[in-house]
Amino acid sequence: QVHLVESGGALVQAGGSLRLSCAASGEFFSINQMGWYRQAPGKQRELVATITSGQVTNYADSVKGRFTISRDNAKNTIYLQMNSLKPEDTAVYSCNAGVRLTVLPTSRFYWGQGTQVTVSS
């Protein structure tokens, strides 16, 4: 079983910063791509940023230049540094990971429970 645990969500004023963390634990062979997604009330979940095991990153246009995703492979942890936060960034942020459970080249995707980020104007 694989568990993803997020932390770092909080209430912050517009223009402020937050750093989210997501740590993976359990028994697995390796972790491929990891990423952050968010879902605001009444909206569909959307991609925020992803990062591969080789540190290749991808960002949603809405967060480019403000958010930075990073990864510590030794700790099976990813981070999301969020700067210049806007009220429209308010959402539940969830971590996702593509995990190889065995040496076989097939992955299974796991989700964390989410952490609330609220940006006040």
Q: What is the length of the chain? A: 121
Query: CA–CA distance from 30 to each of 5, 53, 67, 100 (Å)?
Result: 17, 9, 26, 5
pLDDT beyond 90 at 21: yes
In a 3-state reduction of DSSP, which class is residue 26?
strand
CB atoms < 10 A from the CB of 121, how many? Answer: 9
Provide the pLDDT confidence category of residue 26 given band limits of 50, 70 and 90. Answer: very high
Provide the pLDDT confidence category of residue 103 given band limits of 50, 70 and 90. Answer: confident
What integer best gives the mean pLDDT of the chain? 96
Calpha distance 48→106 (Å, rounded): 24
Give the tens place of pLDDT for each residue, 41-98: 999 999 999 999 999 999 999 999 999 999 999 999 999 999 999 999 999 999 999 9
